[in-house]
Amino acid sequence: MLWDGQLWQLTTLEAWKMWIETVIYWAGWINSPAWQVAKILDSDWYTHNSPQINQLISLKPEVISIEWENIPIELLRELESKWMNIKPNIEMIETISEKRTEKELLVNIWQNTTQFVFINSIDDLIKVFNDLWKWIIKTPNWYDWKWQIFINSIDDIKKLKDSDIWENFIYEKLVDFKTEISVIVWRRKNWEIVVFEPIENKHEKWILINSISLANIDEEIKEKAKKIAIQITEILAIEWILAVEMFVLNDWTILINELAPRPHNSWHLTIEWYNQSQYAIFIKAILDLPFWELRLINKTRMMNLLWNCNNKIPTNSHKIIQKWNFTLYNYWKKEIKPWRKMWHITKVY
């Protein structure tokens, strides 16, 4: 696995149950979430010509996969040239990791998205600002919350005037939505498809705070959301896992926000919600194993605890703590940074 965060920590813990060995290829983040539970192959991982690549190849892994979509494409292509089995396919990662191509893709397959304009200079921004008013500017890649700015006035634009990072930015309309939901779909080579029920997500300053099952929307909207996620998966012929984030508007219209070809932080709660978690299905997708039947076993609510929640965590907690109706998951991140996800709690109700 390339990268080393909480998604791979939880995937590795699930892999243990299936007698599957995992190795992390990443630049030695000691005491990182996955470092605690998996082998680490220390590497200059962001460089496609790193000498450590030969060490990775010598392990003869059955599959190389990703924890997030911003893995350098050059690294993936180098590994593929060495006859490594990369999942999902590099073309899909490249398309989804860049918001511009992702937006174009969604428009081309007739899916509604938020309104957007591509901009490449401060002059472009000033020009569209006069027509579009209060929108939001996003980088072409990385997560939304990593780099995005509200544009409410011409003064906000002036603050960006000296920036030298203008290229393929997206100016996107702010959406007045009723709720935000997400759906995860898996599709195998034999066209077998598994889809979870939609969940409702709550954010603060673009950071996911709560996920709730089941989403507080009527059955018709739930079925429509699942059909949209399945349709995207089938049209793109994705033989993989795909998370689809959506906005449900006040008139019950559904807009697509983003895609992610990997497990999703909003879906930690599947560990307690279903008989098979998203991590179990993720491993089965990697190895093309039968999915089996999904069954709901609980209603759950997940809360992310961020860098400023130290007082809510038991002292010296370095393990998963289970009580009668909740479970605390510690990611063991040693460095506390603003807005970093440090723990999550899942409650059964």
Lowest mean pLDDT among 49-53, 163-167, 200-204: 163-167
Total-model pTM: 0.88
- Mean pLDDT, range 263-287, rounded to an integer: 92
- Length of the chain counted residue by residue: 349
Q: Which residues, other chains included, contact 77 with Cβ-Cβ below 8 Å and sequence gap of 6+?
A: 48, 90
Mean pLDDT check: name the lowest of 233-237, 274-278, 320-324: 320-324
pLDDT-based confidence at 145, cuts 50/70/90? very low
CA distances from residue 346 to 196, 302, 340 in whole angstroms, order as listed: 17, 4, 18
What are the tens digits of pLDDT across the range 177-197?
A: 999 999 999 888 788 889 999
The CA-atom distances, in angstroms, between 288 and each of 44, 147, 173, 241, 282 are 30, 35, 39, 11, 10
Confidence category of residue 44, pLDDT binned at 50, 70, 90: low
